[in-house]
Amino acid sequence: MSNLDNMNRVFLLTLGCIAFALTITQVAAQSSSPGTTRTAIFAGGCFWCIQPAFDKAKGVIKTVVGYSGGTEPNPTYELVTSEKTNYRESIEVTYDPAKISYNQLLDIYWRQIDPTQADGQFTDVGPSYRAAIFYGNAEEKKIAEASREKLAHSGKFNKPIVTEILAAMKFYPAEAYHQKYYQQNPEHFEAFEHGSGRVSFKKKTWER
């Protein structure tokens, strides 16, 4: 075999190896595609207080607190808490549906709020603190309604469940100082959470 033939064989073999490597890389990239994640939006009163439970849940990738339910662009904390808009303090949960279901997220959500309170949550009273589940599609709406019905018949509450189930609107992240507030200011967070009555309510309702 001539040197030219040997060179051609080496060249073709090298091209084959490169093509194979590129194929493997593409398959790996597709298998780790972020398209497999989903988001869910919940309003549950003070957004500081509902973030920790979702952060701890296996299958939750990321949480961001913010504002949803209103129409004014780029809302601020000052605008929302002025109670002149329809925005509610909310949380956007990004999750892996292969590890945690939407129904399981709802179970976590119900345990963070008082679903019988219509004017806000605990000592936080006003339109921006009203609880709501913001569904993204018909399937989420169906699951949320079934979950609420199940809760209503659970025997946990002696008053009607009034948490609203609403079509999702644009979600705006809150200011940086609100994100992971329980980590940024743990002492103030703990005092606020206990002082609001949320902690005692959760213990009385779910730890019996």
Q: Tokens 């009273």 sit at which residue? A: 125
Q: Mapping DSSP to helix (H, G, I), strand (E, B) and coil, where does residue 96 land?
A: coil
Asked if 61 contacts 103 with a C-beta cutoff of 8 angstroms, the reply is no
Which of the residues 46, 91, 105, 143 is marked catalytic? 46
Helix (H) or strand (E) holding 88: strand 88-95
Phi, then psi, of 92 in degrees rounded to 5: -105, 120
Q: Tokens 């309702």 sit at which residue? A: 205
The answer to whether 49 is a known catalytic residue is no
- Of 112, 109, 135, 128, nearest to 66 (Cα)? 128
Cα–Cα distance for residue pair 90/96, rounded to 1 Å: 20
CA 123 to chain centre: 23
Q: How many CB atoms lie within 10 A of CB 116?
A: 15
Cα–Cα distance for residue pair 137/10, rounded to 1 Å: 55
Asked if 97 contacts 38 with a C-beta cutoff of 8 angstroms, the reply is yes
Which positions are catalytic? 46
